[in-house]
Amino acid sequence: MNLAGKTAVVTGAAKGLGRSTAIRLAESGARVAALDINREGLEQVREAIAAAGGEASVQVVDITDNAAVEAAIAEILAAFGHVDILVNNAGSGWHKQTPFKDTPNPDWEWILDLNLKGTLYVTHALLNHMAERKYGKIVNVSSIAATTGIPKLAVYAASKGALVAFTKSLAMEMGPYGINVNCISPGLITDEKVAPPTTGTFLGRKGTADEMAYLIEFLVSDKASFITGVDYLIDGGRVLGPKGV
């Protein structure tokens, strides 16, 4: 993919899928504005991008803080002049699994704040800018939890389902402004914190962050110009059936 001349904002870019995406987009020529709460991880991403000959800015921003998000986006626009690509990747909440009836409010409010409202804040801060330029590529990172549901992760699944609905609705609203809005729904990504007895996939393994980043790279490129409002399951066949290997 050729992303030369494009500027991409990636949230949750300090590690995992966000880090892989930031590096992938930079390797394809995009200037990357990486947002995260993890300063050390952000610096490592900046170094990795610089070592590969790319350009990145990093900002420590909590995306659940709307004022901080607006300030960060204003800073990015002042520095880079324009933003073409937004990857709403920052998200969490799958590590602590409890039945909803036993989940106290604070435990689920922060999941909604981060996974749903954080994405809304960042998107809202950029949308008028993209609309004025009649150009934008937005990818939201959901989860197969939005399609299958997952017991003991009801709030996480709800937040990710909301992102799919948001993606489709926004794609309809913003199509006339030249803005494509899509969504990816990963299955399990390699992560030592999550060690299920089986992967549940038909490929017999978990996915990697790089495999997810390749799909995002395609969706934010002009090669995907006629694709909008789609939720891409990228899960090694996990949702095809209950068995997997």
Give the catalytic positions in this structure. Answer: 156
* Closest to ligand NAD by CB, 38 or 98: 38
Please list every residue from 143 through 172 that binds ligand NAD, using CB under 6 A.
143
Place of tokens 């992938």: 24
Please list every residue from 186 through 245 that binds ligand NAD, using CB under 6 A.
186, 188-189, 191
Specify the stretch interacting with ligand NAD by CB under 6 A; choose among 13-21, 44-52, 75-83, 131-139: 13-21
The partner residues of 136 in beta bridges, in order of sequence, read 179
Place of tokens 């995907």: 224
> In angstroms, what is the minimal distance from the CB of 89 to ligand NAD?
5
Specify the stretch interacting with ligand NAD by CB under 6 A; choose among 1-9, 124-132, 164-172, 182-190: 182-190
> In angstroms, what is the minimal distance from the CB of 123 to ligand NAD?
14
Q: Does 107 help bind ligand NAD (rule: CB under 6 A)?
A: no
Check residue 145 and give left, alpha or beta (phi > 0: left; psi -120 to 50: alpha).
alpha
Q: Which 3-state string (H, E, C) describes 23-42?
A: HHHHHCCCEEEEEECCHHHH
CB atoms within 10 A of CB 240: 12
Q: How far is 127 from 125, CA to CA, in rounded Å?
A: 6
Residues 6 or more apart in contact with residue 235 via CB below 8 angstroms: 144, 185, 186, 187, 188, 201, 207
> In angstroms, what is the minimal distance from the CB of 42 to ligand NAD?
8
Query: What residues make contact with ligand NAD under the rule CB under 6 A?
Result: 11-12, 14-18, 35-38, 41, 62-64, 89-92, 114, 118, 141, 143, 186, 188-189, 191
